[in-house]
Amino acid sequence: MSELAAVLPGVLEKAGWSVPGGLVPVLAMFICASIVAAAMGLSAAVLVWAERKLAGHFQCRLGPVYVGGKFGWLQSIADGIKLLLKEDIIPADADRPLFRLAPYLVVLGVFLAFIAFPVSEKLMVADLNIGIFFILAVLTLEVFGVILAGWASNNKWALLGAMRAAAQMVSYEIPMGLAILPVVVEAQSLSLKSIVAAQSGGMLRWYVFQPPFFMGVSFLIFFLAGLASLKRAPFDLPEAESELTAGFHTEYSGMRFSFFFMAEYAGMILVSGLAAALYLGGWHGILPGQSGAMWFLLKTAFLVFVMIWLRWTLPRLRIDQVVYVGWKVLTPFVLACVLGQALMAYK
Amino acid sequence: MTAVRTYFSDVFMGLWTALVGMSITLRYLFSKPVTEMYPDVKPRTPTRYRGIHVFEEEKCIGCYVCAKACPVDCIEIGVVRKGKEIKITKFDIDYQKCMFCDLCCEPCPAHCIHMGPEFEKASFTRKGTILQFATPKTLTEEEKKVEKVARK
Amino acid sequence: MVAVEKDVRTDELVINMGPQHPSTHGVLRVVLKTDGEMCLDAQPDIGYLHRCAEKIAENLPYGQFVPYTDRMDYVSGMGCNMGYCMAVEQVAGIQVPERGEWLRVIVTELNRIASHLLAFGTYGLDTGAITPFLYGFRERELVLDLLEMLCGARLTYSYIRIGGVDGDVPPEFMDKLKEFLDIFPKKIREYNKLLTYNHIFMKRTVGVGVLPADVAIAYGVTGPCLRGSGVRQDVRRDEPYSVYPKLEFDVPVGTDEHGPIGDAWNRYYIRIRELEESAKILRQCVKMISPGPVLAEKVGRVKPPAGAEAYTRSENARGELGFYIVSDGTMTPARVKVRAPSFSNISVLPAIVRGQMLADVVAIIGSLDIVLGEIDR
Ligand code: SF4
Ligand code: SF4
């Protein structure tokens, strides 16, 4: 953003507009925000299509085929238009202000997190010196939205879904946060830029492949905990459709529903991107010297693919099992990793 | 000790069986889908398919046997008899009721009603689901008097 | 499941599950009493699909009721056809020709495969795995194609008629059947890898909803649910009808290999094993069937003597299907009573869900594999 703020006055002058100097950072902020929002919406749309198409082929089906030619490219646009045009129903007994607020909170959490999203060395809204910490912190905002949605709907299924979401978030925030620690210890920084920079020089320098694989294990844990915090299968209990009809968003329809949807898909990109940056060398290529946004996007896409793949393969856990896995499996393992990495750093 | 062993074997089995499952789904990702492109490509129904009836009016002798055999009474037949001459004035099947059971076709003495291959007869109105198989005829006054319409 | 001790008393939450709910397998309504995620009580409430089938039977000539039996257990219509026709044949004293019996067994076993594949798929759905459902349907499609080739319908067959079956097989049927039987075992192995032995799936179902053998018998549970509890009961073997005495097949029962006998996993696994057994029966049928007439001669209008009555038992995909017919000497029966296996099977639900988690309730209902059309009739 600072680069944008630096070049912006020149661009504006060429266009023949004069803007008072004090307004330039504000303008830059607006531009960045709209770019992030647009990218988020667009990538969510692409992902929805990709998920449906992949799900189809995983199941020997075809997925969308009609809208926009042979492969149904425009399916999610059509879906989006349909959702926009749909009637926005608020249940009679719902807590109206909270019911309306909830979807925005959910989207806001993911949206804010994209600010520190390290696409490449240049393509990054803000290189915060506490980048990861910031992302984890704002991502937790999402759960407030979910709980609010469940509570405000005044529906028993929604409430149960929200309570599950709360239990799940509490259990998985911890392994997720801890899983980052080995990387932070190794890179000696909380800034995503410097963490990625520390992994330059080919595939073997990526943190996942660093013996003795403390970071490799913590990558796995980060990924699983990320799945759980996104409420993706096999941890999709808050919206488990076979038990809770649709969980916390049972009562939502139209645009508000699509906000939850968008947040989920944007969240998938976020968690995958974060994992790619932390453990898979971010924008660095497989061979030394290669780098660029392309690599980062490729890795992110691969991780997103794995998420989709998992969802269309595995059954769902039960809530007590989810909490068990969070506390008794992931947390001890990740603690061991942190300890190991710290001892290595100490030597 | 067994608790420790089950703990680790659970963790291992959880990951391993997930991988096994993923290998299966991955294989199908690249195999040919089995989808039938139904409205674009119409499926070929087998010869015995029990779809919308086929009625051969010229053979029908208006004996009502089919209407009697029908469990849901959805066939309505109108006949005008003049000596040996038989005129089928009405042969309606109500497809809101019909359950495509084939019971009407078997007892027909003239073998003139069969189950056909057609199955697309959805309609937006209730009336549209009643198919009229007999060719429309204008009846003389005298014929109208002797016309017999029966359901069962 | 251990009882959780609490020092805070909280209110119970009464949840209405169904009649429109994704995993009640139709229009079943279950009134759940829950304490958080724990289920304290569940009362199934049935009757949303009641169509007076038994009363209709009293008003129709015997032969015309056959299509209605399709719509009782609509997932295995052939079994219902067969049960009803056997009962009518018994009251009216009709002999079915040999080939007719063979064809009946072939179609009912094929239909059992189709039905169990549906049970397998929907059970995957109940536990959250969506893909096995589609895989199950892919193979079910092959079976339905076979049945369609034979009788022209995919779900409501009415193929079995009083006195035999409706028409001999088309010439290419047997080859297609053999083809299917060749690829089928491979698919079953795949299901096992994908779902049966998936660790998450096992964690979800092993030890869940344990139905002890004595409780099962007390509630009149039959079919795979009873066999899952370790009771080797199968009408095809215990009281053989049709040509079953000539066939060799196993009756799989639940084991304690992975967890307690009678849990949801066992009930589910019995169905997978029965897929294999049905395939085995079909292979024997293909070899042993001989040409001949398929329909008894001069069945015409069935008019049993007054006062004649019969009760026949047959093994449907869901359990023991009984038809009781009383004749009053007219063209229509005086009374038809159906003993529907799903009806008894669902009655055991309250006894086994207490103290389970909410997600387990779904897993238990799924493992009972009920068909609402048959419960309500
Ligand atoms: S197919 Fe069956 S229901 Fe339909 S008209 Fe014929 S006898 Fe009646
Ligand atoms: S049974 Fe055949 S001949 Fe008689 S009325 Fe029906 S279609 Fe016509």
Which tens digits make up the pLDDT trace of A307-327? Answer: 888 888 888 888 888 888 888
CA distances from A303 to A174, A209, A270, A271, A316 (A): 21, 16, 11, 9, 20
Assess C359–A contact: CB distance below 8 Å, yes or no. yes
Closest-approach residue (CA) in chain C for B48: C152
Dist. CA A282–CA A197, nearest whole Å: 8
Atom 4, ligand 1: which residue's CA is nearest?
Answer: B98
pLDDT score recorded for residue C316: 87
CA distances from B60 to A303, B13, B103 (A): 68, 69, 17
Distance from CA of A310 to the nearest CA of B (A): 7
Q: What is the mean pLDDT of residues C232-243?
A: 84
Dist. CA C43–CA C30, nearest whole Å: 5
Other beta carbons less than 10 A from residue C357's beta carbon: 22
Assess B6–C contact: CB distance below 8 Å, yes or no. no
Instruction: List, in order, residues 6 or more apart from C129 with CB less than 8 Å away.
Output: A313, A314, A315, A316, C194, C195, C198, C201
Ligand 1 centre to CA of B54 (Å) is 12
Dist. CA C205–CA C196, nearest whole Å: 10
Question: pLDDT confidence of C1, banded at 50, 70, 90?
Answer: very low
Is residue B152's pLDDT more than 60? no
- Residue A314 burial (C-beta neighbours within 10 Å; 0-12, 13-18, 19+): buried
Question: pLDDT confidence of A201, banded at 50, 70, 90?
Answer: confident
Could you tell me if B57 and B30 lie in one domain? no
Assess B49–C contact: CB distance below 8 Å, yes or no. yes
Query: If you count them, how many residues does chain A have?
Result: 347
Question: pLDDT confidence of A347, banded at 50, 70, 90?
Answer: low
* Across A280-284, C92-96, C185-189, least confident range: A280-284
Which residue among A61, A242, A319 sits closest to C22, beta carbon to beta carbon? A242
* Across A236-250, B84-98, C89-103, C281-295, least confident range: A236-250
DSSP secondary structure, C216-237, as one string: HHHTT--THHHHHTT----HHH
> What is the percent of chain C where pLDDT is above 90?
1
User: Peptide bond before C212: cis, by omega within 30 degrees of 0?
Assistant: no
Chain C residues within 8 A of A158 when measuring between CB atoms: none
Give the HSE-up count for residue B69: Cα atoms under 13 Å, Cβ half-sphere.
Answer: 18
Dist. CA C156–CA C77, nearest whole Å: 6
Ligand in closest contact with the CA of B63 = 2
The alpha carbon of A234 is separated from its chain's Cα centroid by a whole number of angstroms, namely 16
- Interaxial angle between packed helices A156-187 and A331-346, expressed in degrees from 0 to 180 and rounded to the nearest 10: 10
pLDDT score recorded for residue B146: 67
Instruction: List, in order, residues 6 or more apart from A22 with CB less than 8 Å away.
Output: none
Chain B residues within 8 A of C150 when measuring between CB atoms: 48
Q: Is C300 helix (H, G, I), strand (E, B) or coil?
A: coil
The alpha carbon of C167 is separated from its chain's Cα centroid by a whole number of angstroms, namely 25
Q: What is the Rg, in whole angstroms, of the alpha carbon atoms belonging to chain B?
A: 28
Query: Model confidence over C150-199: pLDDT tens digits?
Result: 888 888 888 888 888 888 888 888 888 888 888 888 888 888 888 888 88
Most confident of A302-306, B29-33, B127-131: A302-306
Which letter does DSSP use for residue A326 in this model? I
For the domain that residue B67 is a member of, what is the CATH number? Answer: 3.30.70.3270
Assess B22–C contact: CB distance below 8 Å, yes or no. no
Question: pLDDT confidence of B108, banded at 50, 70, 90?
Answer: confident
Instruction: Specify whether the backbone of C165 is left (phi greater than 0), alpha (psi in -120 to 50) or beta.
Output: beta
Which residue among B21, B24, B48 sits closest to C170, beta carbon to beta carbon? B48
Assess B99–C contact: CB distance below 8 Å, yes or no. yes
Q: Is there a contact between C97 and C296 (Cβ–Cβ < 8 Å)?
A: yes
Domain of B15, in residue numbers: 1-34
**Residue type at C307?**
G
> What is the percent of chain C where pLDDT is above 70?
97
For ligand 2, say whether the CB of B108 is within 6 Å of any of its atoms: yes
Chain A residues within 8 A of C358 when measuring between CB atoms: 160, 243
Sheet of B85-94: strand order equals B130-132, B85-94, B75-82, B148-150
Q: What is the mean pLDDT of chain A?
A: 80
Is residue C2's pLDDT more than 60? no
Ligand 1 centre to CA of B102 (Å) is 6
Q: What are A140's two structure tokens?
A: 């937790």
Q: Is C14 helix (H, G, I), strand (E, B) or coil?
A: strand
Could you tell me if B64 and B96 lie in one domain? yes
Helix or strand run (H / E) with residue A28: helix A24-58
Closest-approach residue (CA) in chain B for A314: B18
Residue to probe by mutation, ligand 2, list B58, B59, B60, B103, most atoms within 8 Å of CB: B60
Q: Does B45 map to a domain?
A: no
Is residue A6's pLDDT more than 80? no
Residues A243, C23: C-beta atoms closer than 8 Å? yes
Q: What are A234's two structure tokens?
A: 């096999």
Instruction: Specify whether the backbone of A76 is left (phi greater than 0), alpha (psi in -120 to 50) or beta.
Output: alpha
Ligand 2 atom at shortest distance from the alpha carbon of B59: 3
Atom 8, ligand 1: which residue's CA is nearest?
Answer: B70
C-alpha closest to that of C161 among C291, C323, C282, C296? C296
pLDDT score recorded for residue B142: 67
Q: Does B18 map to a domain?
A: yes
Q: What is the mean pLDDT of chain C?
A: 85
Q: Is there a contact between A104 and A259 (Cβ–Cβ < 8 Å)?
A: yes
Which residue among A59, A61, A309 sits closest to B22, beta carbon to beta carbon? A309
Angle subtended at Cα A40 by Cα A89 and Cα A109, rounded to the nearest 5 degrees = 70
Ligand 2 centre to CA of A284 (Å) is 80
Could you tell me if B117 and B69 lie in one domain? yes
Chain A residues within 8 A of C357 when measuring between CB atoms: 318-320
Question: pLDDT confidence of A121, banded at 50, 70, 90?
Answer: low
Distance from CA of C141 to the nearest CA of A (A): 13
Could you tell me if B67 and B133 lie in one domain? yes
Q: Does B40 map to a domain?
A: no
Ligand in closest contact with the CA of B113 = 2
**Number of structural domains, chain B?**
2
Query: Model confidence over C278-333: pLDDT tens digits?
Result: 888 888 888 888 888 888 777 777 778 888 888 988 888 888 888 999 988 888 88
Domain ranges of chain A: 1-85, 94-346
- Interaxial angle between packed helices A214-230 and A156-187, expressed in degrees from 0 to 180 and rounded to the nearest 10: 160
Is residue C4's pLDDT more than 60? no
* Across A229-233, A240-244, B58-62, least confident range: A240-244
Residues C67, B103: C-beta atoms closer than 8 Å? yes
Closest-approach residue (CA) in chain B for C192: B21
Q: Does B102 map to a domain?
A: yes
For ligand 2, say whether the CB of B63 is within 6 Å of any of its atoms: yes
Could you tell me if B19 and B61 lie in one domain? no
Q: What are A95's two structure tokens?
A: 């807590």
Could you tell me if B74 and B125 lie in one domain? yes
Q: Is there a contact between B67 and B150 (Cβ–Cβ < 8 Å)?
A: yes
Query: Model confidence over A42-97: pLDDT tens digits?
Result: 888 888 888 888 888 888 888 788 777 777 778 878 888 888 888 877 788 777 88
**Residue type at A56?**
G
Instruction: List, in order, residues 6 or more apart from C62 with CB less than 8 Å away.
Output: C88, C92, C162, C302, C304, C331, C332, C333
C-alpha closest to that of C158 among C72, C52, C223? C72
**Residue type at C131?**
T
Chain B residues within 8 A of C65 when measuring between CB atoms: 71
Residues A54, B29: C-beta atoms closer than 8 Å? yes
Assess A241–C contact: CB distance below 8 Å, yes or no. yes
Residue to probe by mutation, ligand 1, list B52, B93, B95, B108, most atoms within 8 Å of CB: B93
Distance from CA of B151 to the nearest CA of A (A): 45
Distance from CA of B51 to the nearest CA of C (A): 8
Closest-approach residue (CA) in chain A for C25: A242
Q: Does B46 map to a domain?
A: no
Residues A243, C358: C-beta atoms closer than 8 Å? yes
Tell me the count of A-B CB pairs closer than 8 A: 37
For ligand 2, say whether the CB of B110 is within 6 Å of any of its atoms: yes
Q: Is there a contact between A140 and A173 (Cβ–Cβ < 8 Å)?
A: yes
DSSP secondary structure, chain B, as one string: -HHHHHHHHHHHHHHHHHHHHHHHHHHHHTSPP----TTTSPPPPPTT---SEEE-TTT-----HHHHH-TT--EEEEEEEETTEEEEEEEEEETTT-----TTTTT-TT--EEE-S------SSSGGGEEE-SPP-PPPHHHHHH-EEE--
